[in-house]
Structure 1
Amino acid sequence: MKSRFPIHFKPVIALSSIAIISSCSNTKFLKEGQMLYTGAEVKIENDSIPKKQRKALKAELEENLTPKPNSSFLGLRPKLYAYNIAKEPKKEKGFNYWLKYKFGEKPVLLGDVDKEFNKDILVNYSENKGYFNAQAKYDTVSKNKKAQVIYTVKPGNQYLISQVKFQEDSTLVNQEIQNLKDKSLLKVGNPFDLGVIKAERERIDNGLKEKGFYYFHPDNIIVQADSTVAKNHKVELNVKLKEQTPDLATQQFSIDKVVVFPNYNIRDVKDGKYTVPMNEDSLSKYAYEDIYVIDPDHKFKPRIFDRALYFKKGDVYNRKDHNLTLSRLISLGVFKFVKNEFVVSDSLNHKFDAYYLLTPRQIQSLRLETLGRTNSANYGGGEVNLNWTHRNFFRGAEQFKAAVYGAFDVQLGGPKDANNIIRVGANTQLSIPRIVAPFRFNSSSAFVPRTNINLGYEYQSRTELYTLHNFNASFGYVWKENVRKEHDLKVIDITMVAPQTITDKYRQQIEGDPENGIPANPTLQRVVDKQLIFGPTYTYTYTNTTSPKTNTIYYRGMLDLAGNITGLVTGANAKKGDQKNIFGVPFSQYAKMEHDFRFYHKFNEKTNFASRIIAGIAYPYGNSEFVPYSRQFFVGGSNSIRAFRARTLGPGSYDPRVQNASFYFDQSGDIKLEMNAEYRANIYKFLNVAAFVDAGNIWMVNEELNTDGQPVRPGGKFSKDFLSEVAVGGGVGLRLDFSILVLRLDLAMPLKVPYYEKGDRWVLDRVKFGDSAWRKDNLILNIAIGYPF
């Protein structure tokens, strides 16, 4: 009989059944004489060890025991039960195979436990932590075909370091080791710990690598422990070079020749050697400054390597410069593989040649992208992008990108008339791998600083309303101090917006209809006004979210200053009617800043907490009464306050439902406050769930008045009651994380609506999940790519 359930529902049905039935004992599936291993416990017998220290040692010892028992949840073992009930599959595919070998777990039996091996592990670990002469024994406790192993450890007292000596001799390498001893990890009074000793050897090795000892290795260091010369559980440590240390490891090397192969290909290597001869005569024609660039076809300008390489002829080798050079070569963006080799050229004088073998990426690429999208404002559409990239435009690793695109958005539903959006445009960017400026900019970062020049144009048509031309250009710099800190300074950022057509329908909404009681709406006029915006912008980003820490943060701060010097020089004052123009267009004058701070807390490998707060303000002055529409703030939508549709919330307590317009127009503001909190959990491989709360709103700095002197958007101005106007929404989400793509579905509903009457804005008491009309008006489904923050 054919199954009534679709194939993709079978795992859900099976897992639900397992969760219910798995309370039944798994032991009934065991064969005669088998016992299910339920885990181990370590007991510490030493009352002289402080309770906190004893508890920590117990946890560390138990972590080292193998094997681990079958996983459990609330005392049940559903994965083991799935393995037991699933039939042996005939093929390595299908639902039965997935249930038994992908979801299920093979039973861990007492016979799988090597108790003697674990006992030795416990003794060795205890002694490595300074509990010398430790002893251990074990016992097995069994009942109803289940068994647990109890290990009893007698660790004795922990030995403490009484003295640390760095043995001296006359060699150069020893002199450098002596210079490193002041920052030793081995401290008098600390417990003996083999892990710290290993870290100390690596610290010494790292220090020597910075001083030219390229062939040194941590294993060349030995730390001798003597517990017989001191009493009361003390130990002396003696740090010294091993007698068997190779002579090569004790020699300090410097750089002889630096040779770059920017067109390296493994096919050009024969018998382990590059086909180009390495003698001085053959290399001389490739010389540039103190390096040799083997580039017969002149595909690259040699100076880009002179800037990227930190090694010069005669320099003492150090690993910091070694790693910086490799990182900078990679960050040029033109090489697919970067390989480095050091070959001894003069063993008597301890010199080696540095070879950089660089495999270029495809210099030019053409990519066509198509995508479809929907948003919470009832719009759906698509976009086509054609991108051309040249990664070595002027033979100096300059990246030139050019793109043309077309996009459309169609209103899929809602109470308003359809007003489709069409966008067509092109943009170009030239990215130069250095700072092009009249001043000298030195960077010791692993990342190459860049000068970016951008030009762009976009034609936008909102059918039945207006069409706009948008031109933009910018010149600026991007540089990173390190992997955490990035700076983006646009010395000049210019935007020019010019309307082409404005329909009568749109003008009627701007001018209003006094006879029918419809007031004018100057806010709509500012959307289609001619705009000239120019000035510097600066963005600073700090993040340590890539580090394996429990708590990580992300911060992005932005400052945008438009028309400030020009407004000051011309004495512009729009409020007094003295507005200045450039080429017949009023220029914008304002100051804007925005701060985006995020905090992430990792509970364990499968659960974490993410939060974000955004605060921003844009203040118009001088030549502007209002901030340009394109530079204002917006809230709502899939990456903002998800319980409200995109750009429909605010400003303040303004009620968008009172709009007389026959179309939706975006709500904008000069002040923004937004807060988000989200609990995320992984429930199975790529399947993640989340619960979230969003809050925030936007406000105006200056009140907007119509021709009658009445507020265009009542309640939109920022006031002392702004906290009561903060919208709140919450919901749950489902995320499908396929590594290269995260598909996100968030279902949200409003909890507090700022445009309701004050004192009646919380709506928790009006939730009606069973009412279809309530669900239609209040449940917002956001479909998006990637996490919201």
Structure 2
Amino acid sequence: MKQQIYRFNNTLRFTPLLVLTLCFLASCSNTRYLKENQQLYVHSGVELKGDILVSDKQELRSSLESKSLMLQQANKKFLGTRIKVWLYNQKYNEKKKNLFWNLVLSPKNMEEPSVFDSAKVQESIKRMSAYMYNQGYFYDTVSFEKSARGRKVSVTYKVNTGKNFVIDSVSYDIPDSSLMTVVKKSQPLSLVQKGKPYKQETLNSERERLTRLIKDAGYYKFDRGYIHFELDTLNKSFLRNSLNPFEGMLNVFNENKGLEKPTLNIVVMIRNPDDSLGGMHKKYTINRVIIYPDYPVSGDTSRFTFHDSITGFTSVRYRQDILRHDVLNRSILLRHGDTFSNKQYNATINKLYDLGVWQFVTVNYRENRDTTLDALLYLTPRRKQSLGATFEVSTSSDYLLGSGITLSSRHLNLRRSATSLDVSLNTGIELIRSGRAWVLQSKEFGGSVNFTFPKFITPFHISQDKLTAVKTKLSMGADYLSRVQKFDITNINASFGYDWTPSPYRRWIVNPISLNYVGTRLNPSFEDTIVNKNPYLKRSFEPAFIGGEVASYIYTNNDALHRDHYSFFRINLEESGLWLNGINSLVGLVNNHKNDLEDYTGLTISNFVKLDADYRHYWKRPRAAFATRAYIGIGVAYSSSTVLPYIRQFTAGGPNSIRAWRLRTLGPGSYHDTSATAAIFPDQTGDMKLEANAEYRFDLIRMFDGTVNLKGATFLDAGNIWMLRKDPDRPGSEFEISQLYHDLALGTGVGLRLDFSFFLIRLDWGIPLKVPYYTGNANGWYFSEWKHFSDPSWRRDNVIWNVAIGYPF
């Protein structure tokens, strides 16, 4: 069971009341503090018309409403009030000062009243029109409509895009034939293509692309200032009346305006430098590579004596030989005679950081008299060893209080090979409240040892020059969990595998060897009253030997290029039993089929295949975000196994799943365990899981002088778990496509988050909307039961309180 860690004090419970009280007070008018000729600017919006796609319209509206174009912004509302304006007035007009007001009146919690300014409206129209022109809407119109009610003003900007120009042709004017060759080879990847709508930002992006392309081709001193674009919207209609060229220009305008898609031609121009010999751009190559592996933080090298190790054109200047030179050279992709390349420059920095040995990595170039460069690498080491201790206080939906201690040790550079060693020991307990006494529910202790090697360790050679974050990992660990008067589980695991990043957005984790021993010991009473009555649960608690392969693929594009929205995708595939069964058969063959591996160890090999996929998408706004997730998982036992091992089964409910149900209480299917044991020990699991979540997150107020950000959220969760085979002891638990809609659980709720920057405390309150086992409605809709909301016992069973650390997804 995953623990949720948190730290907070009694102030937290009063936060919602404080917010509601302030909102009530802020409902009073804020116009009373305005001067006689002033009006409060309460609303601004954009009414957008034009022949454009819905997606483009939404993006265009968002741009037009930005602060850079719409210069005057109305004060934001919270719960129907402009509470930030009210707080501003309390400080600067009412002159409120005491401990309470000093706490609340943080600068980030206040907004100065937005007073209507007609000059800013006119300037906004000019900027919007200029922006539309840069986006290729040459025939746009922008106006505004003002509406006043008392001393409050609203402004609506009316924007008609007209028709967007489309690129008809792209040509190149590049006097340097070598540059022309480089650019033409990459033309299929150009962002400026025939038939695409014209946008100024597309030209800007193309300028950056060409700059990177040309610098990667060896042109070290090339910069974006050499690239220009020439737009041509004229055609032969300009020459229809040579005696009156102005009439010809009018013909061009009218003709293009009548076209369904007016067109333009683009000429990409790259001019030569003025100070270059022969007027051509210079192409540079790498000459010497000089490395300082233990460069001082101060940057002052005059006080130190350096040793030199020279191999060809590569020099290593060091004070202490902290890293083997073969390991160092493997991470440096700059070689004598190579053409200068920004890609190699960035890849070298990334690979050096990936070693984990350096705190700072700096690469500079020194230009020589010829067209060569010396690369100078300044590497400042990190501290080689570290010790850590963590004390945790936790809570969850099935225990009230938990605590744990983790001790850790790390060595970053074993045997001067950049191999890291991590050792950790942990112990913890969980307590429940029984009457007035605290009762121990579970105890746990364990440890792990992890080696991370900065290369592929394989029986054959694999080139890793084009890969970053290449690692080979060897892990071993053991864990003992005891649920008092129920069961003891011993978990011993080991794995060997690889972790690498083929591109900035993609990552692979592959463990060809993964071993997991699970030993169980059941309390006789628990075994007789609970386990033996449920054959499925009995099989789940059988000792298991899991051995197989695990592979994971991860994609995420959360970077500076995707600030408004980004995605995350992870897919995991695990197989157990394939090669272990081969070893088992081989041992049996050697012993003439008398005894095999299972006979010698007394363990049963688990045979199964498990697949799960997790997709998330995030939309970010200045003070809000919308997050979605879709999850699917399925596990199939095969050969002599009929059930997944207990630790590999799926569960639903809890703070990181469907929050309107407690952990392990939902499913499988429409089955609902109402036994007294289930109330104390909820433990529903399944072979398959479907889940979808959506959450809207928004900022509320900042507290404690802005160091803590109180945020709000509203969410919708849906999903369930199922069995793939019929379980007589749990009717309705098997998956049937015809019953999918009926079996889906649906929950909603609201939440508060205390964001401390370095960690986040999350409180969510969930309530069911659709309950698979509810018989009051054919499809399980639960709205009719909400009439009992005033009943405390109903709220205790149906309004679920979740506390956790971090976001659920």
User: In percent, how many aligned pairs have the same letter?
Assistant: 28
Deviation at 1:601, TM superposition (A): 5.0
2:285 aligned to which of 244, 248, 254: 254
Q: Residues 684 and 445 (structure 1 numbering): CA distance in 2 closer, same or farther, change over 3 Å?
A: farther
Deviation at 1:693, TM superposition (A): 3.1
Q: Deviations over 1:190-248 (max 9, x none)?
A: 78765444444333322210111111111133445678997325777471415546669
**Cα distance in structure 2, aligned partners of 1:39 and 1:757:** 48
Native 8 Å contact 2:747 2:766 kept in 1: yes
Q: Residues 571 and 626 (structure 1 numbering): CA distance in 2 closer, same or farther, change over 3 Å?
A: farther
Q: Deviations over 1:516-548 (max 9, x none)?
A: xxxx44555446543222111222222335562
Q: Residues 473 and 241 (structure 1 numbering): CA distance in 2 closer, same or farther, change over 3 Å?
A: same
Q: Aligned AA for 2:71?
A: P
Equivalent residue for 1:515? none
1:67 corresponds to 2:66: no
Q: Deviations over 1:106-165 (max 9, x none)?
A: 345567947897687578657656789999999999997778999999999998878765
Equivalent residue for 2:571? 557
1:339 corresponds to 2:362: yes
SS of the residue 2:318 aligns to: coil
Native 8 Å contact 1:418 1:663 kept in 2: no
Q: Aligned AA for 2:569?
A: Y
Q: Deviations over 1:310-330 (max 9, x none)?
A: 211110011111111111212
Q: Aligned AA for 2:333?
A: Y
Q: Aligned AA for 2:288?
A: K
**Cα distance in structure 1, aligned partners of 2:136 and 2:151:** 38
**Cα distance in structure 1, aligned partners of 2:172 and 2:303:** 44
Equivalent residue for 1:779? 799
Q: Aligned AA for 1:626?
A: V
**Cα distance in structure 1, aligned partners of 2:794 and 2:681:** 21
Equivalent residue for 1:537? 550
Equivalent residue for 1:618? 635
Native 8 Å contact 1:161 1:237 kept in 2: no
Q: Residues 567 and 718 (structure 1 numbering): CA distance in 2 closer, same or farther, change over 3 Å?
A: farther
Q: Write the mapping of 1:283-322 to structure 2, written as runs, cut at 5 A.
A: 283=308, 286-288=309-311, 291-322=314-345
**Cα distance in structure 2, aligned partners of 1:130 and 1:721:** 51
**Cα distance in structure 1, aligned partners of 2:795 and 2:429:** 29
Q: Deviations over 1:400-425 (max 9, x none)?
A: 10001101112235999956211111
Equivalent residue for 1:265? 296
SS of the residue 2:340 aligns to: coil
Native 8 Å contact 2:412 2:420 kept in 1: yes
**Cα distance in structure 2, aligned partners of 1:480 and 1:339:** 22
Q: Residues 561 and 342 (structure 1 numbering): CA distance in 2 closer, same or farther, change over 3 Å?
A: same
**Cα distance in structure 2, aligned partners of 1:313 and 1:13:** 70
Equivalent residue for 1:203? 209
Q: Aligned AA for 1:331?
A: D
**Cα distance in structure 1, aligned partners of 2:167 and 2:673:** 72
> Which stretch of the first structure deviates more once superposed, 240-249 or 217-226?
240-249
Q: Residues 175 and 689 (structure 1 numbering): CA distance in 2 closer, same or farther, change over 3 Å?
A: same
Q: Residues 450 and 6 (structure 1 numbering): CA distance in 2 closer, same or farther, change over 3 Å?
A: closer
**Cα distance in structure 1, aligned partners of 2:677 and 2:437:** 11
Q: Residues 537 and 15 (structure 1 numbering): CA distance in 2 closer, same or farther, change over 3 Å?
A: same
Q: What TM-score comes out, normalization by structure 2 length?
A: 0.79
Which blocks of at least 5 consecutive residues in structure 1 are unaligned? 513-519, 573-577, 705-710
**Cα distance in structure 1, aligned partners of 2:203 and 2:129:** 18
Equivalent residue for 1:707? none
SS of the residue 1:774 aligns to: helix
Q: Aligned AA for 2:792?
A: S
SS of the residue 1:657 aligns to: coil
Q: Write the mapping of 1:679-718 to structure 2, written as runs, cut at 5 A.
A: 679-684=696-701, 686-702=709-725, 711-718=728-735
1:765 corresponds to 2:773: no
Native 8 Å contact 2:710 2:755 kept in 1: yes
Q: Aligned AA for 2:783?
A: L
Q: Residues 332 and 753 (structure 1 numbering): CA distance in 2 closer, same or farther, change over 3 Å?
A: same
Q: What TM-score comes out, normalization by structure 1 length?
A: 0.81
Q: Write the mapping of 1:41-80 to structure 2, written as runs, cut at 5 A.
A: 64-65=68-69, 67-73=71-77, 79-80=84-85
Q: Deviations over 1:505-526 (max 9, x none)?
A: 33433686xxxxxxx4455544
Deviation at 1:449, TM superposition (A): 1.4
Q: Write the mapping of 1:104-123 to structure 2, written as runs, cut at 5 A.
A: 104-109=110-115, 113=119
SS of the residue 2:468 aligns to: coil
Deviation at 1:683, TM superposition (A): 3.4
1:241 corresponds to 2:254: no
**Cα distance in structure 1, aligned partners of 2:751 and 2:156:** 43
Native 8 Å contact 2:399 2:430 kept in 1: no
1:14 aligned to which of 13, 22, 28: 22
SS of the residue 1:656 aligns to: coil
Q: Residues 274 and 108 (structure 1 numbering): CA distance in 2 closer, same or farther, change over 3 Å?
A: farther
Q: Deviations over 1:381-412 (max 9, x none)?
A: 11100010111123221111000110111223
Q: Residues 101 and 477 (structure 1 numbering): CA distance in 2 closer, same or farther, change over 3 Å?
A: closer
Q: Residues 586 and 288 (structure 1 numbering): CA distance in 2 closer, same or farther, change over 3 Å?
A: farther
Native 8 Å contact 1:335 1:360 kept in 2: yes
1:733 corresponds to 2:756: no
SS of the residue 1:250 aligns to: coil
Equivalent residue for 2:430? 409
Alpha carbon RMSD of aligned pairs, Å?
A: 4.6
Q: Aligned AA for 1:494?
A: L
Q: Write the mapping of 1:369-768 to structure 2, written as runs, cut at 5 A.
A: 369-413=390-434, 420-445=441-466, 447-499=468-520, 502-509=522-529, 520-523=533-536, 525-526=538-539, 529-546=542-559, 548=562, 552-567=566-581, 581-600=598-617, 602=619, 604-658=621-675, 664=681, 666-684=683-701, 686-702=709-725, 711-718=728-735, 722-723=739-740, 724-755=742-773, 761-767=780-786, 768=788
User: Aligned residues, how many?
Assistant: 748
1:83 aligned to which of 85, 88, 91: 88
Q: Deviations over 1:281-338 (max 9, x none)?
A: x74xx13576333234221111222221221111001111111111121222222211
Q: Aligned AA for 1:735?
A: R
SS of the residue 1:497 aligns to: strand
